[in-house]
Amino acid sequence: MFSPVDETNGCVDGVCPVSWVTIKPLETTPTIKEDVVNHPSHYTDGGSIECIEAIEAQLTTEEYQGYLRGNCVKYLWRWRNKGGKTDIDKCQWYLERLQQTLEA
């Protein structure tokens, strides 16, 4: 009925390879997902200073609060048409920074 398994032709423990199946090796390096809300990589200078910190250092408290409010408005304005939940998260991030300026 069946031919005996010949281990010299690539069959191991009764399992023979077939030409239409290919197995991709598993990725060994885990992928790290970027935090696009709290620390996006494109807002650093390649070091430890983030753009938001440089902006804060250049503005008065009142100007900085206006900047933060403006970003909240921007993200709430566009969330349905562009970024979805990510834009809501970004708005919340700016709002939390605005609240911190009131506590200082």
Nearest to 15 by CA among 3, 26, 7: 7
pLDDT tops 60 at residue 2: no
- The string of pLDDT tens digits covering residues 38-60 is 777 766 667 778 889 999 999 99
pTM over 0.75: no
Output phi, psi for 68, to 5 deg: -65, -45
- The string of pLDDT tens digits covering residues 69-80 is 999 999 999 999
Question: Residue 75 belongs to what H/E stretch?
Answer: helix 61-78
